[in-house]
């Protein structure tokens, strides 16, 4: 089943802001939407100021017209609650709605992401608006989903947040003694005697740079608190709407690997996941794929909605190159290949003023259909109609899992030492890229996920081992799983307090080693090690370890710790664990992942040239193989089974060699008896 029972194909459309235009334009929009096979629009994203001109007045006249217009034109609606940016009059009348920056300065009205998540005014009026919208439009059966606020994000350091932080802490730690313990306040004499002595950790208190803190525990809790505060805003709107329209699923548009909000926690409160995909210039196909897999992962494999992407160009990058011909289609299908059941864009019509006027749109400033971009959109729309309901609800069957955990991300980024170059995300990406290059389907999981369905679990830089996560790993390996972790793992528990007695702390028995020291390599310098006869670099950090049951697969080749182990394997219970004591390059990871997958019998989707991505999705109607040629040249693939191309209806036989043009895509349905 897909995210909504009202969709019977991959919906196609995006953010539509007719309120920026005079009504004579609206009919032209409808005409062009039909040309492009658009069947869904997201409405009402930024209309709060329009819907509520003052404290007591609500005016839905224009929205009514728009809702009727799109219903009459057969369009489905993703209805936003407009609470992503508050009205100017509200900021003036209730300044508590304005955020305070990390530097301690109170903001004025402007921009978006601008409401304090602990503002009483925001809570009151955002919930009231959501209620009015749900009540007014509950009878529109073309609403397929609610879209709460927009791209929740940012932080606030105001007095209301400070008070709420103290409440949050008291709920969590109960006593001030426990708070002092988990924050290790004996260090630098920070002992608190009363909750009211606690201040938010910002540039006026514990931080000496936005991400550099003197008390990791305080800053880590602030990040959790801030994520929870925003989640609370979401939840209040959710509950209000759910009461009125219990059958319409509710979401909010996420932003991939967004460091501010713990999406794994959020996902538990959302009916389905949706996100906005804006890769930066030069992002690899694996990097883009990892974001899709994250979003699929946070809802345990359920299909997701690609809520926003640009049809052509962004405006906010330093250099906003055009998406080359074919790229919009390729990246759209990449989302589908990784679990998307909807392809949507920001935006339907390009605005004429303010900061996004140079952001691409379905309908450009030229205003007509005779553009390269529109022609590509039209062609994709036709294809999606052809595909119909075939791929809807299809799942990815992964035997490998990659652990990504927000608490770990925060803790590693906040850490003072050992190296300024350590980036949790980059280390996870390195392993993801190796899995992707090997065409191994992978789930991106958090620490709450069950591991029993996997053959291989990889947890790079598992710096923080929360609660009994070590025990979950221990059972997984004992029962036959393969577990991989790396340098700087098992260091702290959930409050970022070091687990003493020898690194990697609670993982020590599983890994069969003791890490005595960690050497941070100066900028530009590298150590080396050899694996299966080939020399690879050891970069960033080098754990210096002693074997306690494990076996060394490779050793450092230079420095005073030359000859000591860098890659080790430990047999543990029925399974085995690998500890990679340093950071290396893509060639090494690709080779290493290939070996452990082969060892466990975890098979690739299929074998293809480097530039061709391959994924598989399965549902009741069949199994679908996606070939995506990310290259700028033609590439050939050889089929491993009999297939039918669902875009062309062509049948192909096993061992047949097919040609994919530059940036071309093929979706092949496995023949019933294949």
Contacting a second copy within 547-586 (CB under 8 A)? 560
Residue 69 touches a second copy, criterion: CB under 8 A: no
Which of 192, 258, 278, 652 touches a second copy (CB under 8 A)?
Answer: 192
Pairing type for strands 250-251 and 143-147 reads: parallel
User: Could you say which DSSP state residue 279 is in?
Assistant: P
Residue at token pair 């260091």: 491
d(CA 590, CA 436) in angstroms, rounded, equals: 9
Quick count: other Cβ atoms within 10 Å of Cβ 307? 29
Which residue in 151, 427, 493, 613 is the catalytic one?
151
| Distances 38 to 76, 219, 379 between C-alpha atoms, Å | 9, 45, 11
Alpha helices in 116-215, H assignment, sequence order: 120-137, 159-173, 176-182
Which residue in 308, 383, 613, 616 is the catalytic one?
308
What residues have CB less than 8 Å from 619, skipping those under 6 apart?
Answer: 391, 392, 393, 394, 395
Q: Given the rule CB under 8 A, which of 137-145, 203-211, 260-268, 461-469 is the region that contacts a second copy?
A: 203-211
Which of 208, 610, 649, 672 touches a second copy (CB under 8 A)?
Answer: 208
User: Shortest Cβ distance from residue 372 to a second copy (Å)?
Assistant: 7
d(CA 484, CA 575) in angstroms, rounded, equals: 11
Q: Which H or E run includes 96? A: none
Q: Is 606 annotated as a binding residue?
A: no
Two structure tokens written together for 142: 């073309």
Which of 23, 27, 54, 479 touches a second copy (CB under 8 A)?
Answer: 54
d(CA 538, CA 542) in angstroms, rounded, equals: 7
Q: Which of residues 604-623 bind a second copy (CB under 8 A)?
A: none
Whether residue 230 contacts residue 236, with contact meaning beta carbons closer than 8 Å, is answered with: no
Q: Is 89 annotated as a binding residue?
A: no
User: Shortest Cβ distance from residue 318 to a second copy (Å)?
Assistant: 4
What distance lies between CA 439 and its chain's CA centroid?
20
Within 501-611, strands assigned E span: 513-520, 527-531, 534-547, 551-555, 565-572, 575-580, 582-583
Whether residue 421 contacts residue 540, with contact meaning beta carbons closer than 8 Å, is answered with: yes
Binding mask 496-535 for a second copy (x = CB under 8 A): xxx-xxxx----------x-xxxxxxxx------------
d(CA 320, CA 299) in angstroms, rounded, equals: 32
Residue 382 touches a second copy, criterion: CB under 8 A: no
Which residue's CB is nearer to a second copy, number 91 or number 605? Answer: 91
Q: Given the rule CB under 8 A, which of 68-76, 209-217, 296-304, 650-658 is the region that contacts a second copy?
A: 209-217
CA angle 645–650–652, rounded 5-degree value = 80
Which of 71, 107, 136, 594 touches a second copy (CB under 8 A)?
Answer: 107
User: Could you say which DSSP state residue 388 is in?
Assistant: T
Which residue's CB is nearer to a second copy, number 18 or number 481? Answer: 18
Which residue's CB is nearer to a second copy, number 37 or number 359? Answer: 359
Q: Given the rule CB under 8 A, which of 181-189, 239-247, 385-393, 567-575 is the region that contacts a second copy?
A: 181-189
Q: In terms of Cα–Cα distance, which of 185, 207, 206, 205 is closest to 194?
A: 185
User: Shortest Cβ distance from residue 227 to a second copy (Å)?
Assistant: 21
Which of 47, 277, 408, 447 touches a second copy (CB under 8 A)?
Answer: 47
Active site annotation includes 308:
yes
Q: Given the rule CB under 8 A, which of 270-278, 366-374, 548-556, 586-594 is the region that contacts a second copy?
A: 366-374
Instruction: Verify cis geometry, omega within 30 degrees of 0, for the bond prior to 25.
Output: no
User: Shortest Cβ distance from residue 176 to a second copy (Å)?
Assistant: 11
User: Shortest Cβ distance from residue 552 to a second copy (Å)?
Assistant: 18
Residue 50 touches a second copy, criterion: CB under 8 A: yes
Q: Given the rule CB under 8 A, which of 3-11, 12-20, 263-271, 383-391 is the region that contacts a second copy?
A: 12-20
What distance lies between CA 637 and its chain's CA centroid?
30
Which residue's CB is nearer to a second copy, number 111 or number 120? Answer: 111
- What separation, in Å, do the N-terminal and C-terminal C-alpha atoms of the chain show? 24
Q: Given the rule CB under 8 A, which of 361-369, 380-388, 453-461, 653-661 is the region that contacts a second copy?
A: 361-369
Q: Is 281 annotated as a binding residue?
A: no
Q: Which of residues 220-279 bind a second copy (CB under 8 A)?
A: none
Binding mask 108-147 for a second copy (x = CB under 8 A): xxxxx-----------------------------------
Residue 280 touches a second copy, criterion: CB under 8 A: no
Q: Is 116 annotated as a binding residue?
A: yes
Residue 174 touches a second copy, criterion: CB under 8 A: no
User: Shortest Cβ distance from residue 268 to a second copy (Å)?
Assistant: 29
Nearest 10 degrees: Cα torsion 410, 412, 415, 419? -140
Which of 165, 173, 183, 589 touches a second copy (CB under 8 A)?
Answer: 183
User: Shortest Cβ distance from residue 97 to a second copy (Å)?
Assistant: 13
Which of 33, 122, 215, 345 touches a second copy (CB under 8 A)?
Answer: 215
Residue 352 touches a second copy, criterion: CB under 8 A: yes
Quick count: other Cβ atoms within 10 Å of Cβ 413? 19
Active site annotation includes 471:
no
User: Shortest Cβ distance from residue 644 to a second copy (Å)?
Assistant: 31
Which of 194, 620, 649, 657 touches a second copy (CB under 8 A)?
Answer: 194
User: Judged by CB under 8 A, how many residues of this single chain contact a second copy?
Assistant: 115
Nearest 10 degrees: Cα torsion 378, 254, 301, 334? 30
Q: Is 150 annotated as a binding residue?
A: yes
Instruction: Give me the count of residues in the chain.
Output: 674
Q: Is 324 annotated as a binding residue?
A: no
Q: Is 346 strand, coil or helix? A: coil
d(CA 315, CA 55) in angstroms, rounded, equals: 35
Give phi and psi for 535, each to the nearest 5.
-90, 135
Q: Given the rule CB under 8 A, which of 86-94, 609-617, 652-660, 665-673 is the region that contacts a second copy?
A: 86-94
Q: Is 156 annotated as a binding residue?
A: yes
Pairing type for strands 527-531 and 534-547 reads: antiparallel
Q: In terms of Cα–Cα distance, which of 27, 28, 10 is closest to 364?
A: 28
Q: What b-and-e string marks burial along 551-569, b requiring 16 or more CB atoms within 10 Å of the CB?
A: ebbbbbeebebeebbbbbb
Residue 91 touches a second copy, criterion: CB under 8 A: yes
Which of 325, 467, 480, 586 touches a second copy (CB under 8 A)?
Answer: 325
Which of 128, 324, 574, 636 touches a second copy (CB under 8 A)?
Answer: 324
Q: Given the rule CB under 8 A, which of 128-136, 298-306, 370-378, 588-596 is the region that contacts a second copy?
A: 370-378
Q: Which of residues 404-423 bind a second copy (CB under 8 A)?
A: 415-421
Two structure tokens written together for 477: 């390996």
What distance lies between CA 206 and its chain's CA centroid?
29
Residues belonging to the binding site for Zn(2+) are 116, 156, 158, 161
Residues belonging to the binding site for substrate are 112, 150, 316
Q: Which residues are catalytic?
A: 151, 308
């Amino acid at each position: 089943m897909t995210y909504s029972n009202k969709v019977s194909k991959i919906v196609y459309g995006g953010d539509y802001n007719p309120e920026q235009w005079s009504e004579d334009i609206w009919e032209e929009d409808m005409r062009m939407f039909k040309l492009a096979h658009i069947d869904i629009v997201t409405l009402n994203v930024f209309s709060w100021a329009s819907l509520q001109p003052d404290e007591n007045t609500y005016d839905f006249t224009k929205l009514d017209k728009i809702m009727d217009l799109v219903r009459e034109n057969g369009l489905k609606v993703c209805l936003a609650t407009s609470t992503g940016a508050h009205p100017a009059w509200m900021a003036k009348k209730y300044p508590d709605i304005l955020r305070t920056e990390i530097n301690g300065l109170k903001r004025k009205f402007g921009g978006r992401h601008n409401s304090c998540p602990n503002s009483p005014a925001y809570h009151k009026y955002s919930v009231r608006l959501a209620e009015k919208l749900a009540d007014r439009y509950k009878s529109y059966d073309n609403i397929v989903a609610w879209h709460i606020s927009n791209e929740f994000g940012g932080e606030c350091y105001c007095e209301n947040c400070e008070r709420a932080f103290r409440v949050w802490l008291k709920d969590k730690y109960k006593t001030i003694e426990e708070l002092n313990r988990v924050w290790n306040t004996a260090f630098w004499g920070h002992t608190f005697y009363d909750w009211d002595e606690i201040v938010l950790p910002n540039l006026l208190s514990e931080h000496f740079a936005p991400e550099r803190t003197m008390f990791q525990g305080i800053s880590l809790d602030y990040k959790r608190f801030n994520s929870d505060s925003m989640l609370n805003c979401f939840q209040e709107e959710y509950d209000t709407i759910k009461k009125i329209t219990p059958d319409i699923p509710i979401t909010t548009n996420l932003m991939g690997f967004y460091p501010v909000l713990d999406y794994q926690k959020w996902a538990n409160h959302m009916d389905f996941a949706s996100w906005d995909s804006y890769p930066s210039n030069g992002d690899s196909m694996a990097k883009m794929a990892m974001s899709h897999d994250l979003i699929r992962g946070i809802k345990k494999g359920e299909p997701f909605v690609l809520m926003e992407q640009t049809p052509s160009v962004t405006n906010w990058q330093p250099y906003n190159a055009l998406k080359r011909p074919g790229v919009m289609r390729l990246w759209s299908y990449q989302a589908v290949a990784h679990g998307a059941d909807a392809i949507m864009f920001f935006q339907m019509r390009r605005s004429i003023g303010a900061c996004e006027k140079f952001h691409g749109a379905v309908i450009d400033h030229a205003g007509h259909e005779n553009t390269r971009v529109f022609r590509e959109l039209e062609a994709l729309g036709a294809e999606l109609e052809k595909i119909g309901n075939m791929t809807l609800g299809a799942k990815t069957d992964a035997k490998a899992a990659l652990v990504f955990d927000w608490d770990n991300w925060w803790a590693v980024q906040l850490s003072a030492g050992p190296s300024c170059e350590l980036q949790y995300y980059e280390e996870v990406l390195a392993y993801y890229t190796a899995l992707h290059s090997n065409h191994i389907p992978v789930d991106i999981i958090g620490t709450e996920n069950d591991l029993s369905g996997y053959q291989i679990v990889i947890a790079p830089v598992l710096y923080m081992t929360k609660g009994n996560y070590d025990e979950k790993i221990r059972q997984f390996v004992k029962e036959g799983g393969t577990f991989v972790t790396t340098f700087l793992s098992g260091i702290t528990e959930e409050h970022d307090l070091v687990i003493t007695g020898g690194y990697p702390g609670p993982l020590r028995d599983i890994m069969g080693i003791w890490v005595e020291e960690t050497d941070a390599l100066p900028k530009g310098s590298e150590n080396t090690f050899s694996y299966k006869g080939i020399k690879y670099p050891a970069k960033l950090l080098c754990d210096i370890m002693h074997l306690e049951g494990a076996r060394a697969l490779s050793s450092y080749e230079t420095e005073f710790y030359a000859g000591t182990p860098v890659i080790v394997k430990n047999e543990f219970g029925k399974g085995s664990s690998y500890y990679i004591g340093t950071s290396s390059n893509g060639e090494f990871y690709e080779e290493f992942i290939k070996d452990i997958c082969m060892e466990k019998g975890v098979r690739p989707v299929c074998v293809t040239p480097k530039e061709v991505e391959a994924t598989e999705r399965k549902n009741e109607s069949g199994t679908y193989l996606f070939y995506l040629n990310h290259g700028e040249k033609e590439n050939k693939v050889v089929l491993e089974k009999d297939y039918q191309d669902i875009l062309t209806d062509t049948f192909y036989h096993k061992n047949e060699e097919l040609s994919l043009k530059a940036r071309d895509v093929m979706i092949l349905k496995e023949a019933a008896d294949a």
